[in-house]
Amino acid sequence: MARLRAPDGCPWDREQTFDSIKRHTLEETYEVFDAIERHAWPDLKDELGDLLLQVLFYAQMASEAGYFTIQDVAENLNTKLIRRHPHIFADAEATDSNAVLRNWEKIKQTEKKGSASTQTSMLDDIPRSMPAVMEAGKLGSRAAKVGFDWPNPDGLFDKLHEEIGELKAELDPALAASSMTAIEAELGDILFTVVNLARHLRVDPESALRATNAKFRRRFAAMESAAGNSAALAASTPEQLEILWNQAKNASTEPTRS
C-alpha cells in the first residue's frame, strides 16, 4: 500500500481519501457475508483479503497524515482483547457466554468514563450511519442493559399486534386522510418491534431477511421457468400467478415454509 500510494505509485490509489474509500468497505463487508452464507470457503478467503485491504488502505492514509500506523492499530487491538478478557488473562471469572458479555459491557463503560468522549447518552456511540436493521438491534440491546426491555417474547408479540393495529388505523378509509409521515412512523414502529423480537429469539434479523430474500429469488425464478419466460409471467392473471407461486413453494426443498 505504501508503494501504491507513493508519488510514483498508482494514480487511482493516490487519489483516494477516507471518504472515497468507505463505500468500498461496505461493499467488501457484504461480499464477505455472501461468501459465508454460501459456505463458499475459497471465495471467503478472497473476500477476507479484500476486506483486509480496506484496513491497510485506511492505515496507510492515516500514517501519511501522521494520525497512526498499522502497528498502532494492531497493538491497540491486542491491548483491548487482553483488557476485555480478564477471565482469560487475569483472575476474573466467567463461567458462560452471558457472564463474558456482562464483563465486556462493564469494561467498555469503564473505558468510556476514562476517555475524553463528549457523549451524553449511552446510545451516542451507536453509529447512525449503520444499516437501520442493525442500528435498531443495537439500540434495543443497549437499552436492555438497564432493564428497559420486554421480559420475554410474549410481550413483543402483543406489541407487534398493537403496532399493526395503529398502522391499520392510519390507513382506515373512513377517517381523514393520513399523512405519509404518520404512515411511515407507524411502519417504522412495526419494523423496530420485529427487530427486537428477533433479538429475544436470538435470531440475527439481517441474516433472517437475507435468507428470505434468497428464498424469494429461488421461488420467483421457478415461477418464471414454469410460465415460460418473464413476459409470459407478466401476462398472467393474479389467479395464475397464485397457482405458479404455490407450485414453486410446494416444489421447494426448504424445511421452513411461509
Q: What is the pTM of this model?
A: 0.66
- pLDDT at residue 119 in the model: 67
Locate 164 and state its grid cell. 399493526
- pLDDT at residue 102 in the model: 81
- pLDDT at residue 109 in the model: 78
- pLDDT at residue 256 in the model: 47
| Nearest one of 184, 183, 92, 199 to 143, comparing CA atoms | 199
Q: How far is CA 143 from CA 93, 134, 138, 157, in A?
A: 25, 14, 8, 19
Give the single-character DSSP code of 8: T
- pLDDT at residue 96 in the model: 87
Residues of the chain with pLDDT under 50: 255-258
pLDDT tens digits for 211-256?
A: 899 899 999 999 999 999 999 999 999 999 999 999 999 987 654 4
pLDDT tens digits for 70-95?
A: 999 999 999 999 999 999 999 888 88
Q: How far is CA 14 from CA 20, 57, 60, 208, in A?
A: 11, 10, 11, 39
